[in-house]
């Protein structure tokens, strides 16, 4: 059991792609990869702009930059407890136990949960929310600013197309996001308020983070002063410490996923790649992430654990201070090579304390990485970079945020921190554009598979053509029981347009 890949991981491990070949070449192992998180082109261009003009270079070569590249890296035949690790143990953590049953059982025969509300009593439907603005788009989701009609409260509603999720084998990731978010409560993690589904879509209703993505502000500023970075990284440290204590690896730390609330405090969002480990000795083998932030043990497919989040935090810290991830290259192959081997180089203006913390977090051996020792995050919190910081006050949100991202006279529904390419779009619940994007990807993949077939390469486990059939509503009988497949999202049939 411990060495069997989960179904989704097994599927990923059999998929093929350019990055897989790079990864295999680098790691000398048979890992595969496939893209997961294509951001929209407008988002990509934002990131390009963010790095331009920073006056910084990665590894000595300044080049035009491109969007972060999403990958899946997996080691076939293995997930769960690492060889030599302790056997899986029951852990006295209710949240974790609930999650493991629901998120990873995905048992179609068990009864769906009854309540659509995470904190409260009422059952809600889509009609209870009025769409106000489009805030953003992800790979399978669009996110709207909505107002709850009865209370007037504002929320961010993440809407996912079931067909798109199924066609791209993302059921497990989606379930993990819903279940992890539904079981965590922390001042620096976005709160999930409602989760429900209709026949075609899933809905996650989250607190609205009107400060937007940290990425949006990094783009504007180029880089941040160390005093600013200190508060952001400290808040992120508390959030990661909390997740790790519940055996959750976040796995997708990057400035796009760090949102700010109106006051300017950090809120970690997008738990689509998070992983619940069975116990703290367990290891995950498949990683879906963004190349810039990948830890070396992920690239070499050794199995990974909580330490990948500390590596990503080191990368993020260097990026916030200098404007660029430290091993950045437009060439993905070279970037992975640099992550594995290159000397860590930071601009001269970086203070010795910041330099030392970044170097501690970017320690290649995960067992020696800062944060990985027996005392976990405590070692990070004691680092001189944070000297004088009152961690208890920080936990109580009593340390002022570095800056207030929303003008104090701006209305609560202000979307000034979101890109106008999204906010100018009509705010509709429709996700056909998301399905179209997935279809375009699958068509690309089908063409690639045809090329592979010509070259006599082994076929992928599930062909792109099969996946297109799923998207078009053909094939697989379990699409007929969506309420059970997406257990935990209360089924509330949609009436009206």
Q: Residues marked as binding?
A: 158
Side-chain half-sphere CA neighbours of 44 within 13 A: 13
Interface of this chain with ligand ATP, residues 32 to 51, rule: CB under 6 A: 37
Residue in 314, 291, 298 with CA at minimum distance from that of residue 371: 314
> Which parts are annotated binding residues for ATP?
158
Given 269, 277, 288, 318, the residue binding ligand ATP (CB under 6 A): 269
Q: Give the binding-site size for ligand ATP (rule: CB under 6 A).
A: 21
User: Footprint of ligand ATP on residues 123-142 (CB under 6 A)?
Assistant: 135-136, 138-141
Please tell me the total number of residues recorded for the chain in this structure: 497
Q: Any contact of residue 270 with ligand ATP (CB under 6 A)?
A: yes
**CA–CA dist 260, 52 (Å, integer):** 23
Helix residue ranges, H only, 71-197: 94-105, 162-167, 171-183
- Min dist CB 77 to ligand ATP, Å, is 27
- C-alpha distances (whole Å) from 378 to each of 239, 242, 308, 363 are 13, 12, 17, 17
Q: Which of 88, 164, 146 is nearest to 433 (CA)?
A: 164
**Contact pick of 129, 196, 203, 208 for ligand ATP (by CB under 6 A):** 208
Question: 122: part of which helix (H) or strand (E)?
Answer: none
Name residue 137's beta-bridge partners: 142
Applying CB under 6 A, the span of 13-21, 205-213, 308-316, 356-364 interacting with ligand ATP comes to 205-213
Q: In this structure, what are the phi and psi dihedrals at residue 136, rounded to the nearest 5 degrees?
A: -175, 175
Q: 207 forms bridges with which residues in the sheet?
A: 155
The pairing of beta strand 192-197 with beta strand 201-207: antiparallel
Query: In the complex, which residue's CB is closest to ligand ATP?
Result: 138
Structure tokens of 257? 């996923």
Q: Which is nearer to ligand ATP, 145 or 307 (CB)?
A: 145
- Joined tokens for residue 424: 């100018």
Nearer to ligand ATP, 244 or 251 (CB): 251
| Min separation Cβ 160 and ligand ATP, Å | 7
Q: What stretches of 362-491 show up as alpha helix (H) in DSSP?
A: 378-381, 391-395, 420-423, 432-454, 464-471, 482-485
**Two tokens at 452?**
């592979």
Q: Smaller CB distance to ligand ATP: residue 58 or 190?
A: 190
| 252 noted as active-site residue | yes
Give the contact letters, 138-167, x = binds to ligand ATP (CB under 6 A), - = no.
xxxx-x------------x-x---------
Q: Which of 200, 207, 252, 270 is catalytic?
A: 252
Which residues have C-beta within 8 Å of that of residue 477, sequence separation ≥ 6?
A: none
Q: How far is the CB of 270 from ligand ATP (least distance, A)?
A: 4
CB of 458 to ligand ATP, least distance (A): 29
Interface stretch with ligand ATP, choices 10-18, 78-86, 204-212, 465-473 (CB under 6 A): 204-212
- Closest distance of CB 156 from ligand ATP, Å: 3
For ligand ATP, the binding residues (CB under 6 A) are 37, 135-136, 138-141, 143, 156, 158, 190, 206-209, 213, 256, 259, 269-270, 272
Kindly list the catalytic residues.
252
């Amino acid at each position: 059991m411990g060495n069997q890949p989960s179904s989704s991981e097994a599927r990923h491990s059999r998929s093929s792609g350019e990055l897989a070949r790079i990864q295999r070449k680098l790691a000398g192992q048979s890992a595969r990869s496939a893209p997961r998180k294509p951001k929209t082109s407008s988002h990509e261009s934002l990131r390009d702009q963010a790095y331009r003009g920073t006056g910084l270079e990665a590894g000595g070569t300044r080049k035009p930059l491109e969007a972060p590249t999403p990958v899946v890296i997996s080691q076939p035949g293995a997930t769960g407890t690492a060889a030599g690790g302790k056997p899986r143990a029951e852990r006295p953590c209710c949240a974790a136990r609930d999650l493991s049953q629901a998120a990873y059982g995905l048992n179609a025969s068990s009864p769906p949960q009854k309540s659509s509300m995470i904190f409260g009593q009422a059952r809600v439907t889509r009609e209870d929310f009025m769409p106000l603005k489009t805030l953003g788009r992800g790979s399978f989701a669009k996110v709207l600013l909505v107002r709850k009609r009865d209370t007037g409260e504002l929320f961010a509603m993440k809407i996912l197309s079931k067909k798109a999720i199924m066609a791209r084998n993302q059921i497990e990731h989606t379930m993990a996001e819903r279940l992890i978010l539904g079981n965590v409560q922390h001042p620096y993690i976005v709160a999930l308020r409602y989760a429900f589904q209709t026949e075609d879509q899933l809905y996650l209703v989250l607190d609205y983070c009107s400060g937007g993505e940290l990425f949006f502000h990094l783009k504007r500023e180029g880089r941040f002063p160390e005093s600013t970075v200190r508060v952001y990284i400290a808040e992120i440290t508390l959030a990661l410490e909390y997740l790790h204590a519940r055996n959750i690896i976040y796995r997708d730390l990057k400035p796009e996923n760090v949102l700010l609330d109106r006051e300017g405090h950090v809120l970690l969002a997008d738990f689509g790649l998070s992983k619940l480990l069975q116990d703290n000795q367990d290891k995950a083998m498949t990683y879906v992430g963004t190349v810039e932030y990948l830890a070396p043990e992920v690239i070499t497919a050794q199995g990974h654990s909580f330490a990948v989040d500390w590596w990503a935090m080191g990368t993020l810290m260097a990026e916030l201070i200098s404007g660029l991830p430290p091993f950045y290259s437009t060439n993905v192959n070279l970037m992975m090579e640099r992550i594995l081997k290159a000397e860590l180089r930071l601009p001269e203006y970086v203070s010795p304390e910041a330099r030392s913390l970044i170097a501690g977090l970017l320690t290649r051996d995960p067992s020696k990485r800062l944060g990985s020792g027996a005392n976990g995050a405590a070692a990070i919190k004691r680092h001189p970079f944070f000297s004088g910081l009152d961690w208890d006050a920080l936990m109580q949100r009593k340390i002022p945020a570095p800056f207030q991202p929303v003008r104090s006279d701006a209305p609560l529904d202000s979307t000034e921190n979101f890109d106008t390419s999204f906010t100018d779009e009509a705010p509709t619940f429709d996700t056909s554009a998301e399905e179209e994007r997935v279809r375009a990807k699958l068509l690309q993949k089908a063409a690639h598979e045809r090329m592979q077939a010509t070259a006599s390469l082994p076929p992928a486990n599930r062909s792109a053509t099969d996946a297109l059939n799923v998207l078009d509503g053909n094939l697989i009988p379990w699409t007929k029981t969506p309420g059970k497949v997406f257990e935990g999202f209360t089924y509330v049939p949609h009436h009206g347009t």
